[in-house]
Structure 1
Amino acid sequence: MTALSWIDTHIHLDQYSDADVRSIIRELPRYGLDTLIAVSMNRESCQRTESLARTYPGIVKPAYGYHPEQPLPNSQQTGALLQWIETRISEAVAVGEIGLPYYRRQELAAEGYALDEQGYIDLLDQHLRLAKRYDKPVVLHAVYDDADTVCDLLEQHNITRAHFHWFKGSVAQIHRLAQSGYYISFTPDIVYESDIRELAALYPRELVMTETDGPWPFEGPFAGKSTTPAMVVDVCRAWAHIQRLDVSDAAALLYGNARRFYRI
């Protein structure tokens, strides 16, 4: 039987301890994993991601950007971050994680505060301009209603290589993403979340990838367990069952999708 190969297309590797990173990297061959797409949160996160990519070349593929579920940086901080990314853009496989702050908006609203919507849109727009300038794909955090705003911006910039990680949205939004040829990725919650399983049944096979979003913790059979890239094997098995595919065929398809999207 041919050995199966896997890629974790979305992991916050910089958020693990040095010891945990060493353990993760050491265990990758055991599970057939050969690539980690390591996304970033901010300037400090980008710097650690860069260091990890240089420590583990060929395995850790860095993506640089500012995650939206945190306070807006000021203009000086934004300019410094974008300049930092631009000087290293040839090393990056993507710009990300970027997007809009759906959950932060809900939290602030519950506390009686309004979110600076335009500020976050402007921040995203600047990252998209950078990605377009250097023909880099984008890794997106954009769920529910935010997906429509992000799709509008992608169309304005004529960006076609977009990866919506851990996507959640309406049937209409699902169809819009699929028709645009945007990719989505599934986390371990595909094993136990009914709405995610329904999405997995609908989305085109050729536009799907695997991820963990580690170290984010999961529930169901993963409750109490540390999230590691090996969990993409569980993601693939669940997706294969939903798609009525053999696991080996599903693995080859998901692996090929990731390599094609990220050009790795």
Structure 2
Amino acid sequence: MKYIDFHIHMDFYKKPQEIINIYEEKQIYSLFVTNLPEIYEAHLPKYNGFKYIRLGLGYHPEMVDYYDFNRKIFDKYFESTNYIGEVGIDGSKKYAHNIDTQIQIFDYICSKVSNEAKIMTIHSKKAEDIVLQKLKKYKIKYAVFHWYSGSLKTINDIVESGYYFSINPSMLESQKGKEILKNIPHERILFESDGPFSKYKKNITEPKYFEEIFKEFNEFYGIDYFEKLVFNNLKKLLVERQFFEQKSKILKQIIE
């Protein structure tokens, strides 16, 4: 089986190096998202040699109360990765007081990514519509809504805009989560653990549970190829990104 994990916080595990080794050994194509540009900077030297793990340059909206957004570091490493995340806006009650600052930061990040061949992994809790609005405004080519929890109508708008969703086993544990899963077209689904924040049967979601988790998604969707589905969807997304990057380079050369 070819597993993927398109959203994981490896630095939050108690023994991150053990988790990293497992992902490489099991050949799980994964995206290690970061919550601050400083975290990306600290981990980048360790991740250049990995085959299956990629590092995302991020600034989590929940960090606004605790850490300023370091534009200098973000800009410094912007060209070093094809992945931007975790980024976004959180409009839930706990973070509503600083939503204007969140929006300003997300505006800046989107302006950097605009028309670039980079894939964003998005936090959009209670702010799904405004996040989508920003993505469209800045002509973001590739975005993945991580652990989506918004309205069914907005799912349609996201799909029409060409974006993806990364889903995790915690979404199978609530009626709303199941409704959301049913309404996402199969061709727009990726898999994420969001480890160590999502749970599977009261345990932190880890690769040792992936086979069982994928079987549950097979049962939920009434299929027998969930692992192939999400793997092929990721492959398609990466091919599209690479093609756009190459086309952009050619156009730039012509203009210059």
1:107 aligns with: 94
Query: Map of 1:26-41 to 2, 5 A cutoff?
Result: 26-28=21-23, 32-41=26-35
Task: Tell me: CA distance 1:192–1:234, structure 2 relative to 1, closer, same or farther (3 Å).
Answer: farther
Task: Tell me: CA distance 1:40–1:28, structure 2 relative to 1, closer, same or farther (3 Å).
Answer: closer
Offset, 1:95 = 0.9
In structure 1, runs of 5+ residues without a counterpart are 109-113
What SS does the corresponding residue of 1:151 show, helix, strand or coil?
A: helix
1:82 aligns with: 74
In the alignment, the residues of structure 2 paired with residue 136 and residue 11 of structure 1 have an alpha-carbon distance, to the nearest angstrom, of 18
Q: 1:258 is matched with which residue: 234, 249, 253? A: 234
In the alignment, the residues of structure 2 paired with residue 15 and residue 52 of structure 1 have an alpha-carbon distance, to the nearest angstrom, of 16
Offset, 1:227 = 2.9
- Give the TM-score normalised by the residue count of structure 2: 0.84
1:42 aligns with: 36
Q: 1:237 is matched with which residue: 192, 204, 215? A: 215
- The alignment yields a C-alpha RMSD, in angstroms, of 2.3
1:200 aligns with: 181
1:70 aligns with: 63
Task: Tell me: CA distance 1:262–1:16, structure 2 relative to 1, closer, same or farther (3 Å).
Answer: farther
Q: CA contact under 8 A between 2:168 and 2:198: conserved in structure 1?
A: no
In structure 2, runs of 5+ residues without a counterpart are 243-256
What SS does the corresponding residue of 1:245 show, helix, strand or coil?
A: coil
Q: 1:172 is matched with which residue: 148, 153, 156? A: 153
Offset, 1:202 = 1.3
Task: Work out whether 1:61 is the aligned partner of 2:54.
Answer: yes
Instruction: Show structure 1 runs of 4+ deviating over 6 A.
Output: none
Task: Work out whether 1:161 is the aligned partner of 2:161.
Answer: no
* 2:4 partner amino acid: I
2:16 aligns with: 21
Select the structure with the greater relative contact order (CA < 8 A; seq sep ≥ 6).
1
Q: CA contact under 8 A between 2:7 and 2:32: conserved in structure 1?
A: yes
2:249 aligns with: none
Q: CA contact under 8 A between 2:35 and 2:58: conserved in structure 1?
A: yes
In the alignment, the residues of structure 2 paired with residue 40 and residue 130 of structure 1 have an alpha-carbon distance, to the nearest angstrom, of 17
String of CA shifts for 1:122-158, please: whole Å, max 9, x gaps.
Answer: 10011112222532111100023x1110111111111
